[in-house]
Amino acid sequence: MTPAGTRKVAAYLGALAGLSLTLAACSSGTDPAAYPEDDIEVIVPFSAGGPTDTVTRMIAEPMSEDLGVQLVVQNIDGAGGTVGAGQAATADPDGYTVLMHHIGMSTAPALYDDLAYDPIADFKPVGLVTEVPMTIIASSDFEPETFEEFVTYVQENADTVTMAHAGEGSASNLCGLLLTDALGVEVTAVPYDGTGPAMAELVGGQVDFMCDQTTNTTGQITAGEVKAYAATTPERIEALPDLPTTTEAGQPDIQVSVWHGLYVPAETPDEVVTQLTDSLQAALTDQGVIDQMANLGTAPVSEEQATPEAHATLLEEQTATWADIIGASQGG
């Protein structure tokens, strides 16, 4: 073939490659160069007013301002977050459906035999948002006054004590599993359709205790509506400086925090993911977001953590870790 012919073939192949990229973008329902043009739906797979919903709404406003379109939060709860996550997994991969999920993304494969999606294969991580400490709290009329007394009381009265949680696979359910496993007891677990109803019943004295995120418990703790026994962190929480840690109380195995992150369907164009990541990172440096999180006992993750790479690594590591923990708790 002559040099001129070679150049024509190369040009033809280049044109085909460009056409393929264009068709791929069109088939995904979005033009990465023009994204975003419409409002973006953010699915929260838990009830409104819960901790994941609270974190989502904190970053939705600054991300909306940065992207120039509105991030609209949709609460689709049920089955420990798997209903909403399942809808997000099958949404058009055009960047207009985003999922906010927490640690439950890594535990679902071990908890559900018939899970309709693969958290790793069916999603692209956008970036981590925050890592929220957990607190062990009880109704105001629950007898123990300190965490040490709480441990003894639960161990001696396990057959009558009740523990609230927000449904199988929820953060409060996972923390409760770790807590009761560390104490060597089985108590009556009372599941609710979300953390909001669980907290309402706890405040009302219908259940005895719960383990939940500071984004959902700090207000009730500071208002004296519940008894607070301990934070499940190595160090004390700045927003709750008088609350001892489980480590201080001699229970270092009871440590868990809840990380949150954003996801999009797996076939979403990388250029769209990059725009969402950039917007997330901008939101996490917003002083209003920083202050709101601090008031609820948490903080934004670092810029390095608010990336698809760091998020994907954590998801894979945590999926393996929780598979072992949950398997052991279920006798597997």
Q: Tens digits of per-residue pLDDT, 67-89?
A: 999 999 999 988 889 999 999 99
CATH domain 133-231 topology: D-Maltodextrin-Binding Protein; domain 2 (3.40.190)
d(CA 255, CA 104): 16
Mean pLDDT (the chain) is 89
Percentage of the chain lying above the pLDDT 90 cut: 69
Q: What fold characterizes domain 40-131+258-329?
A: D-Maltodextrin-Binding Protein; domain 2 (3.40.190)
The reported pLDDT for the residue numbered 14 is 47
Query: Which residues 6+ apart lie within 8 Å of 110 measured at CB?
Result: 319, 322, 323, 326, 327
Give the confidence band of 321 by pLDDT, cuts at 50, 70, 90.
confident
pTM to 2 decimal places: 0.78
Which pLDDT score is estimated for 294?
92
Dmax over CA atoms of the chain, in Å, equals: 91
pLDDT of residue 177: 87
Give the domain ranges of the chain. 40-131+258-329, 133-231
> Using one digit for the tens of pLDDT, what is the confidence trace for 8-46?
444 444 444 444 444 444 444 557 788 999 999 999 998
Question: What is the reported pLDDT for 116?
Answer: 94
Q: What is the pLDDT of residues 180-207, one digit of tens each?
A: 989 999 999 999 988 889 999 999 999 9
